[in-house]
Amino acid sequence: MADTGEGKKEEAEYKRLHSFPLIRHTDMPDEMRVEAMELCVTACEKYATNNESAAKMIKEMMDKKFGSSWHVVIGEGFGFEITHEVKNLLYMFFGGSLAVCVWKCS
């Protein structure tokens, strides 16, 4: 039983150390990338236990700021293959293993 407590402690420490956003791939212009990244971090921190609400918040804010047709996926351990508009993709990690993919297609 002590092992599970130890494992959770190590996981919490890992998440604390890796709480910064890590961009895996993007083709967004710098200004849009910074705004989208900050929005993703804010949403993931605000809805730490509800990825669906975080994704909804990001999508709605991106639609308002940069026009409609934005899509957002947030989770752990998923793969994807998407078609997107050029200069409108952000794939990043936050909090260690939480992945966020934001893209626009119309």
Residue 2 lies in a domain: no
Q: What is the pLDDT of residue 16?
A: 52
Region for residue 69 given its phi and psi (left: phi exceeds 0; alpha: psi -120 to 50; beta: otherwise): left
Query: Taking the chain, what is the end-to-end CA distance rounded to the nearest angstrom?
Result: 51
Token pair 């994807």 is found at 80
Residue 3 lies in a domain: no
CATH number of the domain enclosing 98: 3.30.740.10
Residue 93 lies in a domain: yes
Residue 20 lies in a domain: yes
Neighbours of 43 (CB within 10 A): 25
Which residues does the chain have with pLDDT short of 70? Answer: 1-19
Q: What is the pLDDT of residue 95?
A: 84
Q: What is the pLDDT of residue 12?
A: 58
Structural domain harbouring 73:
8-104
> Count of domains in the chain?
1
Q: What is the pLDDT of residue 1?
A: 47
